[in-house]
Structure 1
Amino acid sequence: LIIEAAHSFSTPLTEFELSNPKVAVHYIDGRLFMSRSQEHYDVIIINLPSPSTLQLNRFYTREFFQIADARLSSDGILAITCPGSLSYMGEELANLNACVYRTLHDVFPYIRAIPGETNLFLASPSAKISTAEPTLLAQRMQDRNLKGKY
Protein backbone atom coordinates (compact mmCIF):
# COMPACT_ATOMS: atom_id res chain seq x y z
CA LEU A 1 0.00 0.00 0.00
CA ILE A 2 2.80 2.42 0.87
CA ILE A 3 4.68 1.59 -2.32
CA GLU A 4 1.49 2.07 -4.34
CA ALA A 5 1.04 5.48 -2.70
CA ALA A 6 4.67 6.33 -3.46
CA HIS A 7 3.99 5.58 -7.12
CA SER A 8 0.65 7.43 -7.17
CA PHE A 9 1.79 10.57 -5.36
CA SER A 10 5.46 10.50 -6.23
CA THR A 11 7.74 13.43 -6.71
CA PRO A 12 10.04 13.45 -9.75
CA LEU A 13 12.85 12.26 -7.46
CA THR A 14 10.82 9.31 -6.17
CA GLU A 15 9.78 8.38 -9.72
CA PHE A 16 13.42 8.50 -10.78
CA GLU A 17 14.50 6.36 -7.82
CA LEU A 18 11.79 3.75 -8.32
CA SER A 19 12.45 3.53 -12.08
CA ASN A 20 16.17 2.90 -11.59
CA PRO A 21 16.96 -0.68 -12.70
CA LYS A 22 19.22 -1.05 -9.66
CA VAL A 23 16.22 -0.58 -7.35
CA ALA A 24 14.25 -3.70 -6.49
CA VAL A 25 11.09 -3.26 -4.46
CA HIS A 26 10.18 -6.21 -2.25
CA TYR A 27 6.65 -6.36 -0.84
CA ILE A 28 7.59 -7.97 2.46
CA ASP A 29 8.34 -6.94 6.02
CA GLY A 30 11.88 -5.54 6.18
CA ARG A 31 13.03 -7.69 9.08
CA LEU A 32 11.61 -10.84 7.49
CA PHE A 33 13.24 -9.93 4.18
CA MET A 34 16.62 -9.47 5.84
CA SER A 35 16.39 -12.77 7.73
CA ARG A 36 15.43 -14.72 4.58
CA SER A 37 17.85 -13.06 2.17
CA GLN A 38 21.07 -14.79 1.22
CA GLU A 39 22.44 -11.69 -0.55
CA HIS A 40 25.28 -9.59 0.80
CA TYR A 41 25.03 -5.82 0.62
CA ASP A 42 27.59 -3.02 0.66
CA VAL A 43 25.11 -0.68 2.36
CA ILE A 44 21.94 -1.30 4.33
CA ILE A 45 19.93 1.85 5.04
CA ILE A 46 17.30 1.68 7.75
CA ASN A 47 15.18 4.75 7.04
CA LEU A 48 12.55 4.53 9.77
CA PRO A 49 11.12 6.83 12.43
CA SER A 50 12.51 6.60 15.96
CA PRO A 51 11.84 3.36 17.86
CA SER A 52 8.70 4.61 19.58
CA THR A 53 6.47 1.55 19.05
CA LEU A 54 6.87 -2.22 19.17
CA GLN A 55 6.48 -2.30 15.39
CA LEU A 56 9.43 0.09 14.97
CA ASN A 57 11.76 -0.79 17.81
CA ARG A 58 12.25 -4.35 16.53
CA PHE A 59 14.53 -2.73 13.91
CA TYR A 60 16.73 -1.28 16.68
CA THR A 61 17.48 -4.51 18.56
CA ARG A 62 20.68 -6.51 18.92
CA GLU A 63 18.96 -9.37 17.10
CA PHE A 64 18.09 -7.24 14.09
CA PHE A 65 21.58 -5.73 14.00
CA GLN A 66 22.98 -9.29 13.99
CA ILE A 67 20.74 -10.13 11.01
CA ALA A 68 21.96 -6.99 9.22
CA ASP A 69 25.59 -7.82 10.05
CA ALA A 70 25.15 -11.27 8.48
CA ARG A 71 23.84 -9.62 5.30
CA LEU A 72 26.65 -7.04 5.00
CA SER A 73 29.75 -7.51 2.88
CA SER A 74 33.03 -7.52 4.83
CA ASP A 75 33.42 -3.74 4.31
CA GLY A 76 29.68 -3.05 4.41
CA ILE A 77 27.95 -0.27 6.29
CA LEU A 78 24.65 -0.22 8.16
CA ALA A 79 23.12 3.27 8.31
CA ILE A 80 20.45 4.05 10.88
CA THR A 81 19.09 7.30 12.29
CA CYS A 82 17.81 8.60 15.60
CA PRO A 83 16.28 11.95 16.49
CA GLY A 84 18.98 14.42 17.41
CA SER A 85 19.33 18.10 18.16
CA LEU A 86 21.23 21.01 16.72
CA SER A 87 21.65 22.50 20.19
CA TYR A 88 20.61 20.88 23.47
CA MET A 89 19.72 17.22 23.73
CA GLY A 90 17.46 16.41 26.67
CA GLU A 91 17.99 13.39 28.91
CA GLU A 92 15.33 11.22 27.22
CA LEU A 93 16.74 11.85 23.75
CA ALA A 94 20.31 11.38 24.95
CA ASN A 95 19.35 8.06 26.56
CA LEU A 96 17.66 6.89 23.35
CA ASN A 97 20.74 7.70 21.26
CA ALA A 98 23.06 6.11 23.83
CA CYS A 99 20.92 2.96 23.88
CA VAL A 100 20.99 2.65 20.08
CA TYR A 101 24.74 3.32 20.02
CA ARG A 102 25.45 0.70 22.70
CA THR A 103 23.22 -1.85 20.98
CA LEU A 104 24.98 -1.24 17.66
CA HIS A 105 28.33 -1.57 19.43
CA ASP A 106 27.30 -4.98 20.82
CA VAL A 107 27.30 -6.21 17.20
CA PHE A 108 29.57 -3.89 15.21
CA PRO A 109 33.10 -3.06 16.33
CA TYR A 110 33.25 0.18 14.32
CA ILE A 111 30.70 2.97 14.54
CA ARG A 112 30.66 6.57 13.32
CA ALA A 113 28.09 8.92 14.78
CA ILE A 114 27.26 11.99 12.71
CA PRO A 115 25.31 14.44 14.87
CA GLY A 116 22.60 16.77 13.66
CA GLU A 117 18.88 17.39 13.84
CA THR A 118 18.76 13.70 12.98
CA ASN A 119 21.75 11.70 14.20
CA LEU A 120 23.18 9.27 11.69
CA PHE A 121 24.90 6.14 12.95
CA LEU A 122 27.13 4.26 10.51
CA ALA A 123 28.11 0.81 11.75
CA SER A 124 30.47 -1.65 10.12
CA PRO A 125 32.44 -4.82 10.75
CA SER A 126 35.36 -3.07 9.04
CA ALA A 127 37.79 -0.51 10.44
CA LYS A 128 37.66 1.31 7.10
CA ILE A 129 34.63 3.22 8.35
CA SER A 130 36.72 4.87 11.08
CA THR A 131 39.31 6.17 8.65
CA ALA A 132 36.90 7.81 6.23
CA GLU A 133 37.74 11.50 6.35
CA PRO A 134 35.09 14.02 5.26
CA THR A 135 37.31 15.42 2.50
CA LEU A 136 37.91 11.92 1.12
CA LEU A 137 34.18 11.16 1.21
CA ALA A 138 33.39 14.47 -0.52
CA GLN A 139 35.96 13.68 -3.22
CA ARG A 140 34.44 10.21 -3.76
CA MET A 141 30.98 11.77 -4.10
CA GLN A 142 32.31 14.28 -6.63
CA ASP A 143 34.14 11.55 -8.59
CA ARG A 144 30.90 9.56 -8.83
CA ASN A 145 28.82 12.66 -9.65
CA LEU A 146 26.67 12.13 -6.55
CA LYS A 147 24.69 15.06 -5.21
CA GLY A 148 23.87 15.49 -1.55
CA LYS A 149 21.27 17.62 0.17
CA TYR A 150 23.87 20.14 1.37
Structure 2
Amino acid sequence: MLKLHPSVAGRQSALLHLAELFIVCHELGHFLNGDLENETRFCAVDGNPWLQRFEENQDHAIEYAADATGFGLLQEVLTTLPTAYTPQNALQSVIIVFNLFYLLTEGESHSHPNPRSRSVNIARKYFGEEFADTVQKSYDDPELLRSLFPQPESRSA
Protein backbone atom coordinates (compact mmCIF):
# COMPACT_ATOMS: atom_id res chain seq x y z
CA MET A 1 0.00 0.00 0.00
CA LEU A 2 1.21 3.47 -0.83
CA LYS A 3 0.51 6.53 1.23
CA LEU A 4 1.06 10.05 -0.03
CA HIS A 5 2.77 12.51 2.25
CA PRO A 6 0.17 15.05 3.43
CA SER A 7 1.95 17.87 1.57
CA VAL A 8 1.72 15.93 -1.70
CA ALA A 9 -1.88 14.92 -1.08
CA GLY A 10 -2.70 18.57 -0.41
CA ARG A 11 -1.00 19.63 -3.63
CA GLN A 12 -2.93 17.05 -5.64
CA SER A 13 -6.16 18.20 -4.04
CA ALA A 14 -5.36 21.83 -4.86
CA LEU A 15 -4.56 21.01 -8.50
CA LEU A 16 -7.85 19.11 -8.85
CA HIS A 17 -9.74 22.02 -7.27
CA LEU A 18 -8.13 24.46 -9.71
CA ALA A 19 -8.94 22.17 -12.65
CA GLU A 20 -12.60 22.07 -11.63
CA LEU A 21 -12.64 25.85 -11.21
CA PHE A 22 -11.16 26.31 -14.68
CA ILE A 23 -13.89 24.22 -16.29
CA VAL A 24 -16.56 26.37 -14.60
CA CYS A 25 -14.69 29.56 -15.58
CA HIS A 26 -14.43 28.34 -19.19
CA GLU A 27 -18.20 27.88 -19.36
CA LEU A 28 -18.70 31.32 -17.81
CA GLY A 29 -16.33 32.57 -20.50
CA HIS A 30 -18.83 31.47 -23.14
CA PHE A 31 -21.52 33.49 -21.38
CA LEU A 32 -19.34 36.57 -20.86
CA ASN A 33 -18.09 36.46 -24.45
CA GLY A 34 -21.68 36.56 -25.70
CA ASP A 35 -21.48 33.15 -27.35
CA LEU A 36 -24.96 32.21 -26.18
CA GLU A 37 -26.62 35.38 -27.49
CA ASN A 38 -26.19 34.65 -31.19
CA GLU A 39 -29.27 32.71 -32.33
CA THR A 40 -27.44 31.42 -35.42
CA ARG A 41 -25.23 29.31 -33.14
CA PHE A 42 -28.14 27.11 -32.11
CA CYS A 43 -29.70 24.25 -34.04
CA ALA A 44 -32.72 22.04 -33.49
CA VAL A 45 -32.24 18.80 -31.61
CA ASP A 46 -33.57 15.83 -33.58
CA GLY A 47 -35.50 18.19 -35.86
CA ASN A 48 -37.48 19.71 -32.97
CA PRO A 49 -37.39 23.51 -33.32
CA TRP A 50 -38.63 23.93 -29.74
CA LEU A 51 -35.50 22.21 -28.40
CA GLN A 52 -32.15 23.66 -29.44
CA ARG A 53 -28.54 23.00 -28.65
CA PHE A 54 -25.49 25.17 -29.00
CA GLU A 55 -23.67 24.40 -32.26
CA GLU A 56 -20.07 25.42 -31.82
CA ASN A 57 -18.02 26.92 -34.61
CA GLN A 58 -15.90 24.85 -36.95
CA ASP A 59 -12.77 26.99 -36.64
CA HIS A 60 -12.75 26.65 -32.84
CA ALA A 61 -12.34 30.40 -32.24
CA ILE A 62 -15.19 30.36 -29.72
CA GLU A 63 -13.50 27.67 -27.64
CA TYR A 64 -10.11 29.38 -27.67
CA ALA A 65 -11.77 32.65 -26.61
CA ALA A 66 -13.70 30.91 -23.80
CA ASP A 67 -10.44 29.30 -22.65
CA ALA A 68 -8.71 32.69 -22.51
CA THR A 69 -11.61 34.37 -20.73
CA GLY A 70 -11.95 31.41 -18.39
CA PHE A 71 -8.28 31.45 -17.45
CA GLY A 72 -8.49 35.19 -16.77
CA LEU A 73 -11.50 34.57 -14.52
CA LEU A 74 -9.65 31.78 -12.76
CA GLN A 75 -6.77 34.13 -12.00
CA GLU A 76 -9.24 36.66 -10.57
CA VAL A 77 -10.78 33.96 -8.37
CA LEU A 78 -7.31 32.99 -7.12
CA THR A 79 -6.72 36.52 -5.81
CA THR A 80 -9.75 36.13 -3.52
CA LEU A 81 -8.64 32.86 -1.93
CA PRO A 82 -6.66 32.78 1.31
CA THR A 83 -4.30 30.13 -0.09
CA ALA A 84 -1.26 31.25 -2.06
CA TYR A 85 -2.16 29.90 -5.49
CA THR A 86 -0.10 31.23 -8.37
CA PRO A 87 -0.94 31.68 -12.05
CA GLN A 88 1.53 28.85 -12.68
CA ASN A 89 -0.50 26.56 -10.39
CA ALA A 90 -3.57 27.46 -12.39
CA LEU A 91 -1.87 26.74 -15.71
CA GLN A 92 -0.55 23.44 -14.39
CA SER A 93 -4.13 22.44 -13.58
CA VAL A 94 -5.33 23.57 -17.02
CA ILE A 95 -2.65 21.42 -18.66
CA ILE A 96 -3.81 18.46 -16.57
CA VAL A 97 -7.42 19.04 -17.71
CA PHE A 98 -6.47 19.29 -21.37
CA ASN A 99 -4.16 16.27 -21.16
CA LEU A 100 -7.10 14.28 -19.80
CA PHE A 101 -9.32 15.59 -22.61
CA TYR A 102 -6.62 14.57 -25.10
CA LEU A 103 -6.55 11.04 -23.71
CA LEU A 104 -10.33 10.86 -23.98
CA THR A 105 -10.67 12.39 -27.46
CA GLU A 106 -7.25 11.88 -29.10
CA GLY A 107 -7.40 15.31 -30.70
CA GLU A 108 -9.77 17.87 -32.07
CA SER A 109 -13.43 17.39 -32.86
CA HIS A 110 -15.84 19.35 -35.02
CA SER A 111 -16.73 21.49 -32.00
CA HIS A 112 -13.52 21.64 -29.96
CA PRO A 113 -9.87 22.21 -30.85
CA ASN A 114 -7.05 19.82 -30.03
CA PRO A 115 -6.76 19.93 -26.22
CA ARG A 116 -3.00 20.27 -26.40
CA SER A 117 -3.24 23.36 -28.59
CA ARG A 118 -5.62 24.85 -26.03
CA SER A 119 -3.00 24.55 -23.27
CA VAL A 120 -0.38 26.10 -25.50
CA ASN A 121 -2.74 28.90 -26.52
CA ILE A 122 -3.42 29.85 -22.88
CA ALA A 123 0.28 29.65 -22.04
CA ARG A 124 1.09 31.95 -24.95
CA LYS A 125 -1.55 34.52 -24.01
CA TYR A 126 -0.75 34.66 -20.29
CA PHE A 127 2.91 33.61 -20.00
CA GLY A 128 4.52 34.50 -23.32
CA GLU A 129 5.90 32.81 -26.41
CA GLU A 130 8.92 31.13 -24.80
CA PHE A 131 6.84 29.59 -22.02
CA ALA A 132 4.24 28.39 -24.57
CA ASP A 133 6.96 26.86 -26.75
CA THR A 134 8.21 24.88 -23.76
CA VAL A 135 4.67 23.68 -23.02
CA GLN A 136 4.37 22.57 -26.67
CA LYS A 137 7.73 20.76 -26.57
CA SER A 138 6.75 19.05 -23.30
CA TYR A 139 4.32 16.86 -25.23
CA ASP A 140 7.38 15.17 -26.74
CA ASP A 141 9.55 15.53 -23.63
CA PRO A 142 7.48 15.50 -20.41
CA GLU A 143 10.56 16.31 -18.33
CA LEU A 144 10.32 19.87 -19.66
CA LEU A 145 7.29 20.40 -17.45
CA ARG A 146 9.57 20.18 -14.43
CA SER A 147 11.39 23.28 -15.62
CA LEU A 148 8.09 25.16 -15.88
CA PHE A 149 6.54 23.84 -12.69
CA PRO A 150 9.24 23.00 -10.15
CA GLN A 151 8.13 20.50 -7.55
CA PRO A 152 8.44 21.31 -3.85
CA GLU A 153 11.18 19.65 -1.88
CA SER A 154 10.39 15.98 -1.43
CA ARG A 155 9.87 14.83 2.12
CA SER A 156 10.27 11.39 3.53
CA ALA A 157 7.08 9.83 4.82
Taking structure 1 as the reference length, the TM-score comes to 0.31
Which entry has the higher C-alpha Rg, 1 or 2? 2
What is the TM-score when the length of structure 2 is the normalising length? Answer: 0.30
Which structure has more relative contact order (CA 8 Å, sep 6+)? It is: 2
Task: Identify the structure with the greater helix proportion.
Answer: 2
